[in-house]
Amino acid sequence: MALCILCVASLVLFTVYVKEGDCTENGCGPLHTVQLGAAEVLRPVRAVFAVAASPFEGVSAAVGDAVQQDDEQQLRKDALENKELAAEASRLRQENERLRELLGGQRPSYEYASLARVIAPVGDQFANRVIINVGSADGVRPEKPVIVGDNTLIGRTTDVSRHTAEVMLVTDQMFAAGVRIVPPAELDRSSGELSPRNGDTGSYGEGMLRTGWEEYLGVEYVDLSAEVEKGDFVVTSGRAGDYELLFPPGLLVGTVESVSSEDIDQFKKIVVTPPIEPQDLEEVRVITDW
Amino acid sequence: MVAMRHSISRAAVVVAVAALLEAVLSPYLTFGGVSPKLAVIGVVFAVAGLQDLQAVLLGFFGGVVFDALGGGIGLFGVGALGGLLAGILTARVGIAPRGAEVLLLAQVAAVAVAARDVIGLAAINLAGLEGPPPIKFLLAGVLPDALLNALLAYAIGGLLLKFVRKKGGT
């Protein structure tokens, strides 16, 4: 009897959660609110684990090296320390440049939340998401584009609490965005403006960007007649006919890695390389309005 | 001879901590379709030896905590149902002969992990989201996930059992 009641309770929880839908600007349902509260409480714990996990790759490599070396151990140790110092200096220089770029690459017509740092990844095999340290107190709302560098789209916000926000990355299998494929020469990356040679933006290949279960990022539903080449930029289209889409136009989401099609296919098969790997993310910005 | 009996409060602590650890650690330890299902393992070893009602309640409680912490696929109810199944499976298995307990419970953990994976896939499809192809997911996701979690359960099960048991009583 108890088992039946609890099974029904689980299904009710699931149904209510799905019916609530994603958080919107009008707020979240009770179950989403519970998860947001928990995320807020867990923020310091996640941050601690993120810091604790970060050096493991370096440590494991160092341990592996140490096992293989015996004679010139001290010399190698010194060399390693020097390399680490050089790497640290290089990292700081790159971080400095990246932060300058982030601050300098803003488009005047957009409004941005303050610079955010990635706290930790979340989810399991079905998800590719991160938590960032800005939230509703910083003007962040659900379903807003998240970018890095010079207006490169890396995902969108989903659940937002007061001081944190969950970002669904473009490589998440539930992410989708309307995109346009443009030759590099016809896109001004800093402004996102297109300068078509034939004066017609309608000639670009258009489709939907998503990661399929074959686990590659691709653009679907691109017409066979569309001109797409390796190396073309994939940018958000902003509109589809009369519909305004979730992302502003002209945000870079990747580069075309390969294009193929079979005679029986209805659409081209386009594989896209994302501009940045999720594990390389550090600082990001949320576009709050445009 | 001193009898050992389960402490419900300790079992609840194990379940809650396991749910918390999985929600926080799992993203770092996910390799393809495989990730440590600490919440399920925690439930299985925490409720072993408890009565049916206690086991299902504790399993449900662990699952709800896990869902609230946004663990797994993040859909509320999936963890609760998974925890519930882990609880009832463990209770139904009953008490194993001394010495074979950990091995038996590791097998229960494997089944419970597989069940939660399948529930997760069903939930994704029911929620209207696109899930992986079922056959591929069963072979490349559920199977290795269950096997590796069984190994993990076998490795840490003894410690968990030791913690949830206390001396005295019947």
**What pLDDT shows up at residue B1?**
45
Q: Is the model's pLDDT at B110 over the cut of 90? A: yes
- Give the CA-trace dihedral at A237, A242, A247, A252, to 10 degrees: 0
Number of domains present in the structure of chain A = 1
For the domain spanning B4-167, the CATH number is: 1.10.1760
**What pLDDT shows up at residue A115?**
85
What is the distance in angstroms between the Cα of B170 and the nearest Cα belonging to chain A?
25
What is the distance in angstroms between the Cα of B122 and the nearest Cα belonging to chain A?
11
In chain B, positions 90-119, which contact chain A (CB-CB < 8 Å)? none
DSSP 8-state class, residue A173? T
Counting every residue written for chain A, the total comes to 290
Q: Where are the domains of chain B?
A: 4-167
Tokens matching residue B74 = 């993040």
**What pLDDT shows up at residue A216?**
81
- B18 pLDDT band, cuts 50/70/90, is very high
Q: Which residue, A289, A284, A288, is CA-closest to A149?
A: A284
A288 belongs to a structural domain: no
What is the distance in angstroms between the Cα of A121 and the nearest Cα belonging to chain B?
6
A123 belongs to a structural domain: no
- A242: CATH: 2.40.10.350
Q: Which of A10, A122, A126 sits opposite B80 (nearest CB)?
A: A10
Beta-sheet pairing, A217-223 with A205-211: antiparallel
**Cα B21–A286–A235 angle (5° rounding)?**
110
Q: What is the pLDDT of residues A165-210, one digit of tens each?
A: 889 888 888 888 888 888 877 776 666 666 666 655 556 788 888 8
**A7 interface with B at CB cutoff 8 Å:** yes
Q: Is the model's pLDDT at B52 over the cut of 70? A: yes
On whether the CB atoms of residues A240 and A251 are closer than 8 A, the answer is no
- For A30-44, A63-77, B23-37, B85-99, which range has the lowest pLDDT when averaged over its residues? A63-77
Selected for mutation to probe chain B from A5, A6, A41, A130 (highest B CB count within 10 Å) is A6
Spatial CB neighbours of A142, under 8 Å, sequence gap ≥ 6: A22, A23, A24, A25, A157, A158, A159, A160
In chain A, positions 183-222, which contact chain B (CB-CB < 8 Å)? 213
**A12 interface with B at CB cutoff 8 Å:** yes
Selected for mutation to probe chain B from A10, A34, A160, A213 (highest B CB count within 10 Å) is A10
Three-state DSSP at B32 gives coil
What value does the mean pLDDT take over residues A43-52? 80
**What pLDDT shows up at residue A52?**
77
Cα(A71)–Cα(A172) distance, integer angstroms: 47
**What pLDDT shows up at residue A231?**
86
- A49 pLDDT band, cuts 50/70/90, is confident
CA-to-CA dists, residue B138 to A157, A212, B26, B122, B133, angstroms = 31, 17, 20, 12, 9
- What pTM was computed for the model? 0.65
* Domain membership of residue A264 as a residue range: 177-273
Tokens matching residue A219 = 């653009």
On whether the CB atoms of residues A102 and A286 are closer than 8 A, the answer is no
B116: how many CB neighbours lie within 10 A of its CB?
A: 28
**B53 interface with A at CB cutoff 8 Å:** yes
